[in-house]
Amino acid sequence: MAEYVLNNRYRVLAQIAGGGMAVVYKAHDTVLNRVVAVKVLRDTFAQDVDFRARFQREAQAAANLTHPNIVTVYDYGQDGPQSYIVMEYVEGRDLKAVIRGEGPLPLDRATDLMVQACAALGAAHRAGLVHCDVKPQNILVTNDGRVKVTDFGIARAMSASVPQNVETVWGTPHYFSPEQAAGEPPTPASDVYSLGVVLYEMLAGRVPFDAPDHTALALQHMQDQPPPLTALNPAVPIQIEQIVNKALAKDPANRYRTADQLGRALLDYRRATSQATSYQRAVPAPTGSTTVAATPARSPAAAPAVSSGTDWLGWMLGTLAFVAVVGLIPLFVLVWRAYSQPISAPTMPLSNPTVTPVGGATNTPVFGSEVLVPNLIGRTQPEAEQLATKNGLIVSVGAGRFDPKVPAGSVVAQNPIVGKKVAKGSTIEIALSQGPKVSAATNLINTIYEADVPALDPYGWDIRLVEEYNSQEPYHKVLAQDPAPGFQLAAGQPFTLTVSGGTTVTLGVNIDNQIWLDAANLPRDQVKRGEQLDVTLLWRGQRRINTPYTVFVHFVGPNGRIVTQIDSEPPQPTTSWPVSMTISDPYALEIPLDAAPGVYQLRVGLYPTGQPNDRLPISDAGKTSADNNSRILIKEITVQP
Which residues are part of the catalytic machinery? 133
Q: How far is CA 398 from CA 244, 284, 617, in A?
A: 32, 58, 63
Q: How far is CA 241 from CA 63, 103, 257, 442, in A?
A: 35, 17, 18, 38
37 vs 513: CA distance, rounded Å: 15
Residues 6+ apart with CB under 8 A from 18: 24
39 vs 390: CA distance, rounded Å: 46
617 vs 619: CA distance, rounded Å: 6
Contact assessment for residue 30 and residue 81, using Cβ atoms and an 8 Å cutoff: no
State which H helix or E strand residue 263 sits in.
helix 259-274
- How wide is the angle at C-alpha 68 spanned by C-alphas 62 and 74, nearest 5°? 40
**Helix/strand/coil percent split, the chain, to 5:** 30, 30, 45
* Three-state SS at 180: helix
49 vs 413: CA distance, rounded Å: 35
* Three-state SS at 480: strand
First to last CA, the chain: 63
* Three-state SS at 359: coil
